Amino acid sequence: MRTSDHFRINLFPKVEPQLREQRARYARLAVVILVCLLGLWVLADIAFALRGGDTTSRYNFAFDAIGIPLLAAVSIIALFLIRRGRIVAAGYLLAASFFAVTTGTTLIFPGSLFLASVGYPLAVLTAGAIVGNAAPYPFALAGALALGIGWLHGNSAASPETNLYSTFLGIIFVVSQIAFYLGMAATLHSLSHQALEIQATLQDHTDRMTQLAHTDPLTGLANRRQLIDMLKREFTRARRYRRPLGLLYLDLDGFKAINDKFGHMYGDEILRNVANTMRAVLRSTDLLARIGGDEFAVLLPETPLSGVENVAAKLHRSLASYSHQLGPAVNPLTFCVGASQLHDEDGSIDDILTRADNALLTAKSVAPGTTRAESQTEG
């Protein structure tokens, strides 16, 4: 991986769908915190004005005139980005806002350094919780640099009588804060990585459970549940776009005799090979499912009844070819087939299923290896 790609993935990660809503909640919480700080700022201005404060020496209202509208605009823009699903952009905007307000406060009002510095870990936490990956590190490093500059600025601006910045405790505070920022960034990065790993593991388990729930364990084919699910989707699509849809029901003839003569393990091997044989002659868009012991079904999108019968003929030939490989000890393998198609008047999938089942029952009543379409169920 190129360095630029590595840099982009770590600082501008793609928010996984499973984590998107959680990150969005964190972003909305950060907006609430920003609005609360904005409210406290406005209340402080009002209280100071009511007390008749000296606006030239004790408070800089020019800073307020810029900062308050700017934070209000940031809150609105962040909510807009969250609503549009741009979580990473919203996270960086909010973290940068916390950082900018903190830095501006400490530089314009040096005496507030120790109190205002709590804004730097808030910026680091916002980047880590909303953006994730390595996003906290730039804010941790920038916060450490800004804190050092703010301390030096305050140290030079303070009078000798009130100079608390040059004390040993002041130095310890700055160093400990820098260590805290970097440690927080490392912790958030690690937690983000672990959360992604846990999410990936859970998703993998979910996919496996879904596959097991929709797959026949013996043959690896779709099971009845998956057949019904796909039939519902194809039924809706075919009705909407007025496209043909076909269905085959198949039942192996005399399979019980094979189990009784050679045992169930041999019978299971026969079923697996039959499944592979039939699957080899079907299209990738067709769905072959095992719906019972020796019963199969084939869902055929974009296929009218004539095409369904042609598919049935191909399946007969493929099964005969496989059966020939088994030798004379095994009676020739055949199956009966019932074919149906979607009708305009069908109200649900039960209609096409019932016609395929009735056609199969008719075929089995005639002779082994018989195919009957829904139009032939009378004879």
Q: Residue 192 has what pLDDT?
A: 80
Please indicate, yes or no, whether residues 305 and 370 belong to a single structural domain of this protein.
yes
Residues 118 and 204 in one domain: yes
What is the number of structural domains in the chain? 2
State whether 244 and 361 are in the same domain: yes
pLDDT < 50 regions, the chain? 55-59, 159-164, 379
What is d(CA 31, CA 74) in angstroms, rounded to the nearest whole number?
9
CA distance 216 to 289: 8
Q: If DSSP codes are grouped into helix, strand and coil, which group holds residue 250?
A: strand
If asked whether residues 275 and 326 sit together in one domain, one would say yes
How high is the pLDDT of residue 328? 82
Q: Edge-to-edge, what's the strand order for the sheet holding 295-301?
A: 287-290, 295-301, 245-252, 335-341, 371-373
Last residue of a domain, one of 183, 209, 235: 209
User: Could you tell me if residue 218 is inside a domain?
Assistant: no
Residues 189 and 268 in one domain: no
Q: Is residue 10 part of a domain?
A: yes
CA distance linking residue 353 with residue 356, whole number of Å: 5
Backbone φ, ψ for residue 371 (5° rounding): -115, 135
Distances, alpha carbon 170 to alpha carbons 150, 164, 165, 167, 355, in Å: 12, 7, 5, 5, 86
pLDDT of residue 60: 60
**pLDDT the model gives residue 362:** 94
| In a shared domain, residues 202 and 133 | yes
Contact 133, 9 (CB under 8 A): yes
Query: Does some domain include residue 14?
Result: yes
Cross-strand partners of 371: 337
> What are the CB-based long-range contacts (under 8 Å, 24+) for 106-111?
106/146, 106/147, 106/150, 106/153, 106/154, 107/149, 107/150, 107/153, 108/60, 108/63, 109/60, 110/150, 110/153, 110/154, 110/157, 110/158, 111/154, 111/158
Other C-beta atoms closer than 10 Å to the C-beta of 248 total: 26
DSSP state of 16: P
Please report the pLDDT score of residue 224 as a whole number.
92
How would you classify the pairing of strands 287-290 and 245-252? unpaired
φ/ψ of 306, rounded to 5, equals: -60, -40
pLDDT value at residue 377 = 63
Nearest-angstrom CA–CA distance, 185 and 137? 5
Domain for residue 90, yes or no? Answer: yes
Distance CA 230, CA 237 (A): 11
Same domain, 58 and 199: yes
Yes or no: say if 250 and 297 are a contact pair by the CB < 8 Å rule.
yes
Neighbouring C-beta atoms of residue 122, cutoff 10 Å: 22
> Where a domain ends, among 152, 184, 209?
209
Q: What is the pTM of this model?
A: 0.58
Instruction: Produce one character per residue of 132-147: b if its CB has 16 or more CB atoms within 10 Å, e if not.
Output: bbbbbbbbbebbbebb
217 domain residue, yes or no: no
Helix, strand, or coil (residue 303):
coil
Q: What is the pLDDT of residue 45?
A: 73
Structural domain harbouring 9: 3-209
Per the CB < 8 A criterion, the answer to whether 121 and 57 are in contact is no
Do residues 240 and 104 share a domain?
no
Cα four-point dihedral sign 13, 17, 23, 28: positive
154 plus 232 within the same structural domain: no
CATH number at residue 274: 3.30.70.270
The answer as to whether 349 is a domain residue is yes
